[in-house]
Structure formats: C-alpha cells, structure tokens
C-alpha cells in the first residue's frame, strides 16, 4: 500500500511538472503573440499615417479626436510659406532680367561689344 501511494505521488508530481511546462509554453506563446500584434498594429498605423495622413498614432495617443481628418501640420505650412516666398523672389528676378534684356541700351551695348 505504501508503494502504491508513493507511485501515485510520483505520477502526480510528473503530471504537475508536465502541466506547468505546458502552461509556461502557452504563456510564452501568448506573450510573443501579444507583442507581435502590438508591434504590427503600430507599424500599420505609422504606414497609414505616412500614406494617407490619417493621424492614427495621434489618435491612439489621445492627441486628436478624429484620426481621418487630414491636418496640415505646422511643418508643412512652414515649407509652403518658404516655397511661396522663393517663387515670389524668383519671379521678381525674372522680371528684372526681362527688363534688362529688352532695354534698347542693352542691345546697343551688345552690338558695340560684338564689333570690338
């Protein structure tokens, strides 16, 4: 009887060790899947932000109420203002060059220099 009791105790211990090992594997698998899912979600949100300017990352961080409203950021507004200023300055330079080239004195000076 003591022998049977000892065998049952040994089987119970091995059963518990087996169960613990399976639970450990499941918890590890669950952890890996959870981290992978969160990472995939973050990467997908970043991709959609970059492609469609949906602001999903801002929405997940609580910085905006509607992620699908396209927003012009301060950085984009600054770039647009710089481009507009550059275009205006280039237009002014072109107008100045046109007035110089179409001036009769410029053509006369060019002909004189060609004779020299």
Q: pLDDT truncated to tens, each residue of the chain (116 aa)? A: 445 544 545 555 554 555 556 677 778 889 999 999 999 999 999 999 889 888 888 888 888 777 777 666 677 888 999 999 999 999 999 999 888 888 877 777 788 888 87
Which 3 state secondary structure label does DSSP give 65? coil
pLDDT at residue number 43: 94
pLDDT at residue number 83: 96
Question: In this predicted model, what pLDDT tens digit does every residue of 100-116 receive, in sequence order?
Answer: 888 877 777 788 888 87
How many domains does one find in the chain?
1
Domain-located, residue 35: no
Domain-located, residue 76: yes
C-beta separation of 58 from 45 below 8 A = no
Give burial (CB, 10 Å; 0-12/13-18/19+) of 80. Answer: exposed
Helix, strand, coil distribution of the chain in percent, nearest 5: 85, 0, 15
For residue 98, what are the domain limits? Answer: 72-116
- What is d(CA 66, CA 58) in angstroms, rounded to the nearest whole number? 9
Nearest to 63 by CA among 49, 75, 51: 49
pLDDT at residue number 34: 95
Domain-located, residue 78: yes
Domain-located, residue 34: no
Domain-located, residue 64: no
- What is d(CA 9, CA 15) in angstroms, rounded to the nearest whole number? 10
């Amino acid at each position: 009887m003591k022998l049977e009791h000892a065998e049952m105790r040994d089987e119970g211990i091995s059963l518990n060790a087996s169960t613990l090992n399976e639970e450990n594997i499941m918890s590890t698998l669950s952890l890996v899947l959870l981290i992978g899912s969160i990472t995939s979600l973050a990467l997908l949100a970043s991709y959609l932000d970059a492609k469609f300017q949906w602001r999903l990352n801002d929405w997940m961080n609580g910085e905006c109420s509607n992620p699908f409203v396209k927003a012009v950021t301060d950085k984009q507004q600054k770039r647009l203002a710089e481009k507009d200023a550059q275009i205006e300055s280039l237009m002014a330079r072109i107008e100045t060059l046109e007035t110089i080239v179409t001036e009769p004195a410029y053509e006369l000076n060019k002909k004189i220099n060609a004779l020299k």
